[in-house]
Amino acid sequence: MRLISPFLFTLLASSFAFGQVEPKSPPEKPAEAAAKTPQFQIEREKAVGEKMDQLQIIKGKTYKDVTIREVNEKGMSILHAGGLARIPLANLPYKLRKRFGYDPKRAAEEVKKEQETARAQVAERTKANEKTREARMEKDREHAQAMLSKKKQAKILELQKRMAIMQTGMNKAQAEVESLTAKADDYRARGRVNVEVRDRNGRVYYSEKVTKSLLNRAATLDKRIAKIRVQIAEANSKMAQLAQQIEDVRHFKGD
């Protein structure tokens, strides 16, 4: 039996190893994942619920009967004898700052993020408010246009009613003028007539007989007729104005 040379055996073993798929690494255990959590973060979580008789911050203020409610980059939120308070990490005593991992640079970045978030929220609210305002303005505009249309129609009807009343009055006035004119003409005709007159010698000639009462009545009617004609002219002018107002109302669009 022929033996395989050491060189060939090494080559075959390398080829076999190259063709195999390397096994996947085992999933990360919870303990290993926890080991990657920063210690200051662990301390922040552990601190929730801790109590202190008093807490004196850097600026000199002292809180009594303190219970820690939350610790994050914004600061430490506490419940104390006087109520609630949030203390920036920078104002905590040195031991607490060190324990909770106070980092001025990280704190500044957190403040910057909060400011950017706040600005984005303000911009979003402003945009939403603007849309709401525009929608309300559009609704108000539509309502105003509808109300304006109703007012225009009511105004037109009012003007047309006034024109109809004036037209009826003018028709009556014109009929009265015609009647008075005929009566005045009759008074004038009967107030001035040619009558046959004979003198002492028996000669006949014609003379105009004047009846003053009839002529006076005719003159009175003439004055009344003139007054009515003025009223008719004024009514015509007013009706023309009303007709123009109707056209103006029909073509008025408003703002």
Q: What are phi and psi of 249, to 5 degrees?
A: -65, -40
**Tokens 């002219």 appear where?**
233
Higher pLDDT, 253 or 150: 150
Q: What is the DSSP letter of 242?
A: H
CA atoms of 169 and 165, how far apart (whole Å): 6
- Give per-residue pLDDT as tens, 66-120: 999 999 888 899 999 999 999 988 889 989 988 998 888 888 888 888 888 989 9
Higher pLDDT, 12 or 53: 53
List the one residue out of 177, 174, 194 whose CA is nearest residue 185: 177
CA atoms of 238 and 163, how far apart (whole Å): 8
CA atoms of 91 and 51, how far apart (whole Å): 18
Is 18 within 8 Å of 46 (Cβ atoms)?
no
- Give per-residue pLDDT as tens, 198-228: 877 878 777 778 888 988 999 999 999 999 9
List the one residue out of 188, 237, 233, 232 whose CA is nearest residue 212: 188
- Give per-residue pLDDT as tens, 128-147: 999 998 888 888 878 777 78
- The pTM of the full predicted model, rounded to 2 decimals, is 0.41
**Tokens 């970045």 appear where?**
109
Question: Max alpha carbon distance in the chain (Å)?
Answer: 201
Q: Return the percentage of the chain with pLDDT > 90, whole number.
A: 42
